[in-house]
Structure 1
Amino acid sequence: MVSVSDTAGGAEAHTVALGQGMRQRGHDVVLYGRCPGWDEQGLTRREIGLGPKWSRRTMATGLLRVPLERHRTQVIPESSIYYLQFKREQIALTAPLARRAPVVWTEHGRWLGGPTGRLLLAGYARAAEHVARVVCVSEAVAADLEPVVGRDKLVVVPNAIDTERYVDPPAAARASLRERLLPARFQDRRVAVLAARLHVGKRHERAIAAARASGSALLVVGDGPDRERLERLAGGSPDVHFTGYRQDVADLLAASDFYLYCGAETDGTPTCVLEAAACGLPIVAFRGDPGTELVQGCGGLLIDDPAELTAEKAGSLLELRGGGVAYVEQCHSRRNWLDAYERVFGECLA
């Protein structure tokens, strides 16, 4: 794997889960670069001096670094498969690596719009000439890429979660989690939760407004560049509690009553929805957001505007608890997901 990121998010969690799962199945896995959570799992990693992940802020200097970074791939030893996940690695490093072994990409989200998206698309199309397979997390993501990559290279493998970690606990265990983890003022309240990286593109202010409209308390789990703005919008309300980054997300989900999902326009298959549903939570999502098709399987409610989530509707959600557990286990389990990746890698080697 060749990947550099210093921010914990869904793609990074995907990288760690894939590396860990492949190792448990007997494959040798080495990461060249950096990824939050990788070292904590005891996985093998080597630093090769790649610059920061490409973003609007780092793009200009990142493009200037491409010749140097291509040169640095020479220290990566021969491998059966090279796996790349972010645009910099895909666009800049695929061609030199593909001369030595098949290259596989994963695409997590819808294609970027605007000038940045158009600029990346040209380089992406050239790099795709050298890729063996592109794994897409949804059919919508695959549809975006088909005109550029060609359908023969695209494979859809929906995101998955660890269904042994994210579970709907018995009532007594859930009551204990609520007492231990929730603020005292939330103990006898209906509690909504969101657990995600706090980024302005996800428009999490809608979750705050929806919780208020329904008279529910809101637990905001996670951190990110939009936290300060969201805290200002909450205005110090005792009904909204920001936890910051937490490692006990599964327990916090299980202690809550329903999940409020807000997605950015580039999201693919949101793992936060799968995790919440596996913990028994009904999902409230906004029409037009990517990934809202999951609500049909996970159980919940689609709304157009936060004000639609009345106290009566929020109360009726509690009757849907546990409705998505079987769906997640059947369609988004880690076991099936790893099986699919092994098939993809095997096809590339055949």
Structure 2
Amino acid sequence: MSRLTITMVSVSDSAGGAEAHTVALGQGMRDRGHDVVLYGRCPGWDEHSLTRREIGLGPKWSRRTMATGLLRVPIERHRTRTIADSSIYHLQFKREQIALTAPLSRRAPVVWTEHGRWMGGPAGRLLLAGYARAAEHVSRVVCVSAAVASDLEPVVGRDKLVVVPNSIDTRRYAAPSAPARAALRRQLLPSHLQDRRVAVLAARLHAAKRHDRAIAAATASGSALLVVGDGPDRERLERLSAGNTDVHFTGHREDVPDLLAASDFYLYCGAETDGTPTCVLEATAAGLPVVAFRGDPGTELVARCGGLVVEDPSELTAERASAMLELRGGGVAYVEQQHGRESWLDGYERIFGECLR
């Protein structure tokens, strides 16, 4: 493929799956010889020495910021004039998609990535009309799962939708040997947890994901719990587990692969709008069995990887948790074959090329 200029417009100050996706796509396309630039902010972008420009957009839209965000749309559309010409513009958050697609599409094809199911409630209904109008100007909408595409088909139209499942860099995650795992436990776990069965969750701590279920499940199974990550729900979860020395909060960490390798199994809690959870892929690639809760998005991945899906935290008894340890490594091959980074980049490169024909 000839060299492209790929411009991403994205503003976010909290690390999560969408932000990791942005960094991976930018880094992967740069490594394949394309010019990549981000207008805005994204955790992890600068750390990989990727090119970035400021654009002066307000905060990412949320239920709290949406009212003022809608008032900012005219000025933010005006600021797209400062964005340089490009081969492709890539957008992934609702504010950028709804507010900026039309002006950018007059200059080059616009591609969206959709990471999750469509949100419900008044906020979802409020956004839907604007999203439908903006979709008239988009060239392709990349969905991380067939379920996400199904949500959007009545609004966008099937001809613009394409499914490219989420991926991870499987080279960063590996099931460790017993001596390596023991060394990581001594190095990374609090001393009183090193000889315990340790569950782990590594995610953005948001109330919509109901991570209190992970605390309850770990407690029911007699396991310790390592909570890796940060977010607006951390304070509530810390209050919930106050006095329980079996629950250890690490905050945001850059050594997640090592923390996964030091643990025994993963506890996944998903929000109703989640798409394909990369945390499940990462845990599985690290050799961990995964426990998920029925009804959460992405639990089909758990079944494919040989994990366990429960209705209620109390179902994870000590006996079931102990038996699960025999499943270590059972999903590694599946993740490598179906969710590897190179085939994922191939998919995006193909889509970008089709938009330019």
State the secondary structure of the residue aligned to 1:105.
strand
Pick from 120, 127, 139 the counterpart of residue 113 of structure 1.
120
Q: For residue 15 of structure 2, give the secondary structure of its aligned residue in structure 1.
A: coil
- 1:77: how far off? 1.5
CA apart distance, 1:60: 1.1
Moved more, 291-300 or 84-93: 291-300
Instruction: Give the Cα separation in 2 of the matches to 1:201 and 1:320.
Output: 29
1:27 is the counterpart of 2:27: no
What are the equivalent positions in structure 2 for 1:193-204 lying under 5 Å apart?
A: 193-204=200-211
1:341 has 2:348 as partner: yes
Answering whether residue 72 of structure 2 is matched by residue 43 of structure 1, we say no
Q: Deviations over 1:158-183 (max 9, x none)?
A: 10001011111111111111111111
Counterpart for residue 288 of structure 2: 281
* Cα distance, 1:238 vs structure 2: 1.2
Task: State the partner residue of 1:223.
Answer: 230
Number of aligned pairs?
350
Q: What is the aligned partner in structure 2 of residue 294 from structure 1? A: 301
1:312, 1:170 → 2: CA distance? Answer: 24
Specify the code of the residue in structure 2 equivalent to 1:107.
Answer: E
Q: CA deviation at 1:61?
A: 1.1
Cα distance in 1 for partners of 2:110, 2:156 equals 14
Partner in structure 2 of residue 322 of structure 1: 329
- Find the aligned partners of 1:171 and 1:242 in 2 and give their Cα distance: 25
TM-score by length of 1: 0.99
Partner amino acid, structure 2, of 1:144: D
TM-score normalised over the length of structure 2: 0.97
Deviations 1:263-312 (A, max 9, x none): 00000000000000000000000000000000122221000000000000
RMSD (CA atoms): 0.7
Separation of aligned partners in 1, 2:137 and 2:164: 21
Distance of 2:51 and 2:105 partners within structure 1: 22
Counterpart check, 1:250 vs 2:254 = no
Counterpart residue type for residue 270 of structure 1: P
List gaps (5 residues or longer) in structure 2.
1-7
Structure 1 counterpart SS, 2:35: coil
Aligned mate of 2:83, from 76, 81, 106: 76
Counterparts of 2:102 and 2:242, CA distance in 1: 51
Tell me by how many angstroms 1:331 deviates.
Answer: 0.4
What CA distance in whole angstroms lies between the structure 2 residues aligned with 1:130 and 1:165? 37
CA distance in 2, matches of 1:331, 1:340: 12
Distance across 1 between alignment mates of 2:260 and 2:140: 35
Q: CA deviation at 1:228?
A: 1.1
CA distance in 2, matches of 1:220, 1:36: 20
Unaligned 5+ residue runs, structure 1? none
Aligned to 2:3: none
Asked if 1 retains the 8 angstrom alpha-carbon contact of 2:303 and 2:309, the reply is: no
For 1:93, the equivalent position in structure 2 comes to 100
- One-letter amino acid of the counterpart of residue 185, structure 2: R
Alignment correspondent of 1:11: 18
CA distance in 2, matches of 1:17, 1:236: 38
| Cα distance in 2 between the residues matched to 1:11 and 1:236 | 34
Deviation readout 1:112-171 (Å, 9 max, x if unpaired): 101100010000000000000000000000000000000100000010001011111111
Percentage of pairs with the same residue: 83
> Deviation above 6 Å: which 4+ runs of structure 1?
none
Q: Secondary structure at the match of 1:164?
A: helix
SS of 2:21 mapped into structure 1: helix
CA distance in 2, matches of 1:339, 1:293: 24
